[in-house]
Amino acid sequence: MKKEDPGQLLKKGKKPIVSELTGKKSVRTTLNLHKSAHDALDWLSKFYGITIKEVLDGTFKEEFVSGSKKLQEGYLNSEEEKQSNNKTEKNETTRKTYVLSERSLKVLDREAKNFSSRDGLASVLVMLHLAIAKSHEEKRRNALELIRNFSVKAEEIEKEVRELVGEDDQISEAFSYLVNRLMDFEDNYDLLI
C-alpha cells in the first residue's frame, strides 16, 4: 500500500499523526519527594499494574491536578498540623529521577507556580492519588465481600431448590449453572483485588 504524503493528508482534512503525539514524548525530571511519596509511587504502580511513568502521567494529568485543588489545600493543612505536632520527627526527602511525558511535566511546572514548590506539589498530588486509590481498593474489597456473602446464600438456596424439584429438573440445573459461575468468580476473587 502506498503511503500518503503529509501535505495530501492536510488537503483531505486529516490531521497528521505528529499532532497526536505532541506532549507524549518521554522526558526525565528529578523530584525531591518524601519517602512516603516514593513508596506511594511504587504501591500505585503495583496496584494498577502499570509503570511509574504511567502513574505519574495519570497523577499530573490536567484534569486530576485542576480537579483536586481543594483536596490539595485540605491535605496541606493536615500535613502542616501533623508536622507541628511532630517537630522531633525529621521531614526527610530524597531526590530521584523519574521518566514522565512532556505534557505531564508542563502541567506540573505550570501548576507549581501557584504552589510553594514543584516538589511539594508533586508530593501532595502523589499522596492524594494514593489516598484515592486506597479508598477505591477498600470499596472493591467491600463489594467483593458482599459477593462472597451472596455466594454462601446462593449455595444454600441451591440445596433448597434441589430438594424441592430434584437435581434433574431444568430449574435446578439452570440455578446450579449460575451458582457454579459464581464459584468460578469467587475462585478468581484474589485476582480482582
Q: Are residues 141 and 185 in the same domain?
A: yes
What pLDDT score was predicted for residue 4? 56
Listed residues 109, 134, 159: the one ending a domain:
134
The 10s digit of each residue's pLDDT in 42-62 is 999 999 999 999 999 998 888
Other CB atoms within a 10 A radius of the CB of residue 140 amount to: 12
10 part of a folded domain: no
User: Angle at the Cα of 136 (from 60 to 45), degrees rounded to 5?
Assistant: 50
47 part of a folded domain: yes
The 10s digit of each residue's pLDDT in 126-156 is 999 999 999 998 998 898 888 888 888 999 9
Bridge-based pairing of strands 93-101 and 26-34 is antiparallel
Q: Model-level pTM?
A: 0.66
Q: Are residues 113 and 151 in the same domain?
A: no
Q: Are residues 34 and 74 in the same domain?
A: yes
63 part of a folded domain: yes
151 part of a folded domain: yes
Q: Are residues 104 and 175 in the same domain?
A: no
Which residue type is seen at 144?
L
Q: How many domains does the chain have?
A: 2
14 part of a folded domain: no
Domain region containing 36: 25-134
Listed residues 114, 134, 154: the one ending a domain:
134
The 10s digit of each residue's pLDDT in 61-104 is 887 777 666 666 665 555 544 544 444 445 688 899 999 999 99
Distance (Å) of CA 96 to CA 28, 34, 61, 110, 134: 10, 10, 20, 21, 24
Listed residues 107, 134, 161: the one ending a domain:
134
Q: Are residues 79 and 92 in the same domain?
A: yes
Q: Are residues 73 and 114 in the same domain?
A: yes
